[in-house]
Amino acid sequence: MADLLRKSLRNLWSSLRHHPPAAWVTLVISLVLTWAGWYVTNQFIQHRASDRYAFQVKDVLGAIQQRMQTYESMLRGGAGLFGASETVDRREWKTYVQALQLDQRFPGIMGFGYIERISTDQLSAHLSRIRTTGNPDYVIRPEGQRDVYSATTYLEPDTEANHQALGLDLYAQPNLRGAMDRARDTGMPALSRLVSLDHVGAHDLLKERRLFMFLPIYRKNALLQTAAERQNALEGWIYTSMHSQDLLRDILGASNAEIDVEVFDGTDMRRDTMLYHDLGEEEPHLGRTDYAPDFSQTTHLEFGGETWSLFIHTQPGYIAASDTGQPIIVALGGLALDVLLFLMIGIMSDRHQQAHRIASAMTEGLQQSETRLRAILDNFPFMVWLKDEEGRLLAVNEPYAHACGRPDISSVVGMSETDLWPQDIAQAHEEQAQLAMQDRLEHITIGRITRAGQERWMEVHCAPWCANNGTVLGTVGYTLDISEQNKRSNPCAPASGVSVRSSNKLR
């Protein structure tokens, strides 16, 4: 039996050695193409999964940013109530917060309240006022002497935990003072780091780890240009407290089950800084050597002066077994795959060439359109311009460049009119542009200038340039020399003066 096998192998080898060279070349090419097919298929699967993962990451980041902006809007609404009222009492605050429907519109919020800043000489009056309005046992906690006090004066919804928090001096908390000072000095919402409140006499729920967001309330009509002025004008803070796990679970609870999200407070991503874990686990996956997801990404988000770090990774089986088996099937396909690969390459080549032809035709068409538009603009017998919101020239025609003494258009684009015209003319144009953008109306200014020793009457048209959504992007306009018309229609025109009129609102 063994001799028969050895004889068969020798005959096979002899047959292979005598195959023509073309057969070997075909075999080599076939093996190369088979390997190429396996490689291309594997890369395609990886890229498709990567694109899906990138889209899911974008969804997660967008959901968090949108929710935090919603909470910021809630704080600004509370500040608006204080700004519009002479005083806000507890009943008014309760009515306002009930109208907000926190449970339905602001999930994750544990409390929405007002913290009053109290100096030492205001302390007795503050305690007396609160005690005579239905809270006779009211005290500021923690007790003790300090230069400045703060007290949680109003806090809704009216739960047992929030009731126990009334009188809490959050400014006495070192891990909250930084955020409160940052809000006070900047006038902007400020987010705290992850904190645990543990005051004597406080409800147990206040010992849970929370996030706080603060927005300052200043004295009405006070100067707020500098940090020192804001500090002097501070009356208190509107604030909200959020349970980090509940907040992020509500935001990300509906996220794709194929990925896991871990959120950390700050850039130091450890177990004790973890705000949220999608799977509810206590240990983060970040840094684990026994876990190798198909895709993972660490990114950062900025909120209210604080940074959140997110580790977003895929779950096991993100790339399905049916997908991972495809390269193996392709590799075993051999010559059949070679034919399909050749067809695919041919189709891809045709599509590439077709796309290139379409792109070339579109580019040529755009260039022709731009050339025609430029020819029209440059042959206008008057100046035409386009400026951005800051007054920088984005486009002009040749009459404009020549009128301001420039050799060509490229030497004008990017400059402002103060770089090109006398101060009085540039200032008049700037004022007209500001009026046009402010009123969203076309403004027409008629004035007199002196050019080459001759007095000329110029009619300047300036209109707002808006995006499709109505955002003002700048101004567009043109200037006509109406000296001859002015002489014919009003030969006794005054020697000086400027008149302005506006057309209907542009749409």
How many other CB atoms are found less than 10 A from the CB of residue 296?
17
pLDDT band at 332 (very low <50, low <70, confident <90, very high): low
Q: What pLDDT, on the 0 to 100 scale, is given for residue 168?
A: 92
pTM, rounded to two decimals: 0.57
pLDDT band at 255 (very low <50, low <70, confident <90, very high): low
Query: Are the CB atoms for 129 and 90 separated by under 8 Å?
Result: no
Query: Are the CB atoms for 252 and 276 separated by under 8 Å?
Result: yes
Q: What is the mean pLDDT of residues 205-231?
A: 86
Mean pLDDT taken over the chain: 80
* Dist. CA 431–CA 394, nearest whole Å: 18
Residue 226 has pLDDT above 90, yes or no: yes
What proportion of the chain, given as a percentage, has pLDDT over 70? 79
Query: Are the CB atoms for 161 and 206 separated by under 8 Å?
Result: yes
Residue 341 has pLDDT above 60, yes or no: no
Q: pLDDT tens-digit profile of 467-485?
A: 888 899 999 998 888 887 7
What is the SS3 assignment for 144? coil
**H or E stretch at 283:** none
* Dist. CA 444–CA 501, nearest whole Å: 5
Residue 117 has pLDDT above 80, yes or no: yes
Residue 107 has pLDDT above 70, yes or no: yes
Q: What is the mean pLDDT of residues 216-229?
A: 93
Q: What pLDDT, on the 0 to 100 scale, is given for residue 499?
A: 42
Q: Are strands 472-481 and 383-388 parallel, antiparallel or unpaired?
A: antiparallel
Examine residue 189 and say whether the peptide bond preceding it is cis (omega within 30 degrees of 0).
no
Centroid of chain to Cα 63: 12
Token pair for 221: 């009509």
Pure H helices in 302-443: 321-324, 326-333, 335-378, 398-403, 423-439
**What sign does the dihedral 489-494-496-499 (CA atoms) show?**
negative
CATH numbers and ranges of domains, the chain: 68-248 (3.30.450.350), 380-505 (3.30.450.20)
Q: What pLDDT, on the 0 to 100 scale, is given for residue 423?
A: 85
What proportion of the chain, given as a percentage, has pLDDT over 90? 23
Residue that wins the pLDDT comparison between 115 and 203: 115
Residue 146 has pLDDT above 60, yes or no: yes
List, in order, residues 6 or more apart from 362 with CB less than 8 Å away. none
* Dist. CA 246–CA 251, nearest whole Å: 9
Token pair for 275: 């705000």
DSSP string, 381-404: SSEEEEEETTSBEEEE-HHHHHHT
Q: What pLDDT, on the 0 to 100 scale, is given for residue 16?
A: 54
Q: pLDDT tens-digit profile of 35-76?
A: 777 777 777 778 888 888 899 899 989 988 998 998 999 999
**What sign does the dihedral 107-110-112-115 (CA atoms) show?**
negative
List, in order, residues 6 or more apart from 214 with CB less than 8 Å away. 75, 115, 179, 180, 183, 189, 190, 192, 237, 238, 239
Q: What pLDDT, on the 0 to 100 scale, is given for residue 249?
A: 83
Token pair for 417: 């009119």
In the numeric block, the tokens 């000296």 are attached to 483
* Dist. CA 177–CA 193, nearest whole Å: 10
In the numeric block, the tokens 């070192």 are attached to 174
pLDDT band at 345 (very low <50, low <70, confident <90, very high): very low
Q: What pLDDT, on the 0 to 100 scale, is given for residue 180?
A: 95
Residue 418 has pLDDT above 90, yes or no: no
Q: What pLDDT, on the 0 to 100 scale, is given for residue 333?
A: 67
Token pair for 95: 């009515």
- CA distances for 90 relative to 38, 157, 161, 219, 316, angstroms: 71, 12, 17, 19, 52
